[in-house]
A and B are shown apart, each in its own frame.
Chain A
Amino acid sequence: MRRRAERPGLTDWLILAGAVGLAVVFLLSDVSSRMDAARTVRGTFLWPFRWVLAYGGCPPDAWAEVERLRLALARRSLDRARLAEAERELTRLYDLLEFTASSSWSLSPLLVVERVSDRFGEVIVLSGDSPEAHPRQAVLGMEGLAGYVIQTRGREVLVRTLRNGAVQISARVPDSRHVGMLRWRPRERLLAMEGIPIQGVVAVDDTVFTSGDGRLYREGLPVGYVTSVRDDSTALVKVIRVRPAVDLDRAEELFLYVE
């Protein structure tokens, strides 16, 4: 210690020059090199410091942290209860549906995780294991047709629902046997079918089914229920309005129709 109490010698100046040179090299290097250097120094020298702080450090406001953890714990308990309830409900629904694969087709369940919209109307995001999902595949609810797949992204499946102007369904009115195209009318929030012959027999509450002509959906899937029947302005044809069979606002689970 006493030895150091002397004027800086050549060695001291050389060491200073080395340190300054090193610092200047860092300062003059490009940003990514500086980031890499910082990462290296942090990983090499600071790991014991980080380790001690991680296990022994105290947050700035301990009571606020306690409160935050309490809330997180409560949220987690509620989530767990909600998930358990959802699982029970799923089991019950599977039992109700006698969820077994038939010889020619089966249903693959997916959960509704998000409702978004494209420029034509509603799109629903489903999530679940669906390796067999592919675009233009029919998606059903428990009550009937819900839409079709437009895209798959990993575990997510995007479904364009009946409440989307881009969806057209070839449908059949059972009594009149008339086949026409159903299309969503956003203002009325109903599906519409036009051009039914004036002599055709259609009544309110009749069920409308897929015709199978469009080759997108198999024949006989319920699409919706007739809510109104009126004559066209020409009085030559009828126009009907149809409410979708699936309550898309409340659906929590939909099914991929797998041939």
Chain B
Amino acid sequence: MKYTTFNQKTTDTMKEPMFFGDPVNVARYDQQKHPIFEKLIEKQISFFWRPEEVDVSKDRVDFQKLTDAEKHIFTSNLKYQTLLDSVQGRSPNIAFLPIISLPELETWVETWSFFETIHSRSYTHILRNLFSNPSEVFDDIVVNEEIKRRATDISKYYDDLIFYTQLYQTRGEGVYTIDGETHEVNLRVLKKKLFLCMNSVNALEAIRFYVSFACTFAFAERELMEGNSKIIRLIARDENIHLTSTQHILNLWMKGKDDPEMAEIAKECEQEAKDIFLLAVSQEKEWAKYLFKDGSMLGLNEEILCQYVEYIANQRMAAIGMGQPFNVKGNPLPWMNNYLTSDNVQVAPQETEISSYLVGQIDSEVASGDFEEFEL
């Protein structure tokens, strides 16, 4: 089935599944099969921000004062986050857009990816300010073994889905031998790859950012690197919305509210999906170990950080029906919530009344009685 950028066939998007139906033709939102995606688009756009709006100049002075161990923690985290957003800035577009069949979902994926590119640009903004030659930091991302190992696990599900989609859309169903490897391509196999890929993306958005978020906010608790922390808060807010979208997609499938075949696959791959999540959790814990190899930082150590990862994992796994596999009682880093609260994200003074500021927002509902007590 060849991909077309404008499907000439008349389709009823109310009857299409989210993925692998007819390609989208008209980008219309007057009727929606899953209205949640348009609501997420609206919310996400209301969060628009630019890295350059945040002043990071004071961070340069703070950075010089950090110990070598702390400098290692700080730059390693930025490298890892740069990797994550490099992947997320392009992959949802390339992997999902060619197989999406609902206009609202298509636009959501594009909006999502766009915000990941803002995140990528903000890392350059931060690093340019800290280093006279930031290219050393960027160059290390592709050679650093610790980061490379994570990159493999993050990108492999995307790559697999993209490759099979390419085979399917150019040659159709069948068995193909390419470079000595045999690939069986059919819709069922593709849907299974999509399901695993979505689980991997969900785990990425749910877990993989949180060790570095915790470190950033731990610096901010000591009133260090506050410009950076402001940027990361905006990023954390966006990632929360992205996570909500992958949770919705997974739950729509699992509860049989979309493609019935995906509900079957979700059951079939239940354990595999859970393993993907648990692998992400253990990799985050290993990351904490790597960060603190030269020494920990004030207010944070490997043990408490690992407990926090488990605490977050419990919540995130429960949200997609995977139960709560870890035994953690209470939030081990309660101050994290102050940084993850949407209302506390600092915005322009005129916007402080409402965190998702809408341009030109007015209350047009004025009752005749509203001015009763008003006197000139």
A binds B: no
Footprint of A on B, CB under 8 Å?
none
Footprint of B on A, CB under 8 Å?
none
